[in-house]
């Protein structure tokens, strides 16, 4: 009995440590700035985690990147609607890059209704953002983001070559699936000692707190059918159970969204993970951010 109780306490402690470490190490940001705005192919989002991103989907202005370009990084806000912004990630078409943090500028912002205005001064000269529309159901889904620094839980050990993300539709009609190649996972992590005959696959989403009127994001988990998304609990419910390493082609296809309206969930991060249990997965960091809806 004592061993069983100790095991439960250990699992709970691991879960709490994981949640605290990835939820928000950054200070809470001004709630008037948390959200996403879009206009004429430009989308900008500010998350309560202190991360921001701007994307341009335009075949003319982003022609060199196949019609899609983005940069993102961290930001802080202060009194009098002051703001300071830096960037550390960039995407050109399907290629993503992680770069040393670089100061973009500081200045002020105003947010009222559906309108966002930001004025920055910095090494690149004056920069102005003026957007007057929120994400709509018709906004196209952006490409998947592969650079892990754009995610809150950025230290996962699943390699990028082991996942292939497919997305289709708009924010109002979103479809998303991912193929997990366990052979490539094992080849890239020979030193981890994972030699189980079967494993579990996990699917989780980190939803911005602004969706719930909160300053902190909330973890949700997608368990196996017929259950639907629900709040994270310990132990984490698996999406797939007892998956054999000898599965066909050693690949597992995970259908995450199917013609789903996520227009109110801008900024949500999707993760997958695998392991013999949720505790083993978290302890070994067998997870990866695969998609960010922004």
Phi, psi of 35 (to 5 degrees): 155, -175
> What are the tens digits of pLDDT across the range 67-93?
778 888 999 998 889 999 999 888 887
Q: What is the pLDDT of residue 112?
A: 77
Q: What is the pLDDT of residue 31?
A: 55
Angle formed at CA 222 by CA 24 and CA 156, multiple of 5 degrees: 50
Q: What is the pLDDT of residue 279?
A: 92
**Highest mean pLDDT: which of 12-16, 170-174, 196-200?**
170-174
Q: What is the pLDDT of residue 193?
A: 55
> What are the tens digits of pLDDT across the range 180-237?
887 777 666 555 556 667 788 999 998 877 677 665 778 999 998 888 899 998 899 9
Q: What is the pLDDT of residue 187?
A: 67
Q: Tokens 């690149």 correspond to what residue?
A: 124
Which pair of structure tokens corresponds to residue 119? 């004025």
**Highest mean pLDDT: which of 45-59, 239-253, 265-279?**
265-279
| pLDDT mean across residues, the chain | 79
286 closest CA partner among 218, 227, 238: 238
SS3 169: coil
- Of 21-35, 36-50, 85-99, 191-205, the poorest mean pLDDT is in 21-35
How far is 220 from 269, CA to CA, in rounded Å?
10
Q: What is the pLDDT of residue 42?
A: 79
Q: What is the pLDDT of residue 12?
A: 37
Angle formed at CA 34 by CA 87 and CA 90, multiple of 5 degrees: 25
- Of 118-127, 128-137, 210-219, the poorest mean pLDDT is in 210-219
Query: What is the average per-residue pLDDT within 58-75?
Result: 80
- Of 4-8, 81-85, 270-274, the poorest mean pLDDT is in 4-8
Task: Say what the alpha-carbon torsion angle 229, 230, 232, 233 is, to the nearest 10 degrees.
Answer: -130
Sign for the CA dihedral angle at 95, 101, 102, 108 comes to positive
More confident residue, 76 or 2: 76
């Amino acid at each position: 009995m004592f061993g069983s109780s100790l095991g439960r306490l250990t699992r709970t402690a691991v879960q709490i440590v994981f949640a605290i470490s990835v939820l928000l190490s950054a200070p809470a940001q001004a709630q008037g700035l948390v959200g996403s705005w879009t206009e004429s192919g430009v989308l900008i989002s500010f998350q309560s985690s202190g991360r921001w991103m701007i994307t341009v989907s335009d075949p003319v202005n982003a022609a060199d990147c196949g019609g899609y370009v983005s940069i993102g990084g961290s930001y802080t806000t202060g009194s009098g609607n002051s703001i300071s912004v830096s960037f550390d990630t960039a995407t050109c078409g399907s290629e993503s890059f992680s770069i040393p943090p670089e100061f973009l500028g500081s200045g002020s912002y105003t947010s009222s209704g559906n309108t966002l205005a930001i004025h920055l001064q910095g090494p690149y000269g004056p920069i102005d953002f003026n957007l007057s529309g929120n994400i709509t159901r018709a906004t196209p889904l952006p490409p998947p983001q592969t650079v892990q620094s754009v995610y809150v839980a950025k230290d996962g050990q699943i390699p990028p070559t082991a996942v292939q993300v497919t997305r289709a539709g708009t924010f109002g009609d979103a479809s998303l699936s991912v193929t997990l190649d366990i052979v490539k996972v094992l080849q890239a992590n020979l030193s981890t000692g994972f030699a189980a005959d079967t494993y579990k696959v996990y699917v989780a989403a980190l939803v911005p707190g602004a969706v719930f009127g909160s300053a902190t994001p909330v973890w949700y988990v997608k368990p196996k059918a017929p259950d639907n998304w629900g709040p994270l609990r310990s132990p984490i419910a698996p999406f797939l159970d007892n998956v054999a390493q000898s599965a066909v082609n050693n690949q597992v296809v995970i259908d995450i969204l199917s013609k789903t309206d996520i227009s109110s969930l801008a900024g949500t991060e999707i993760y997958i993970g695998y392991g013999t249990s949720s505790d083993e997965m978290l302890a070994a960091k067998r997870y990866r951010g695969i998609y960010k809806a922004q």
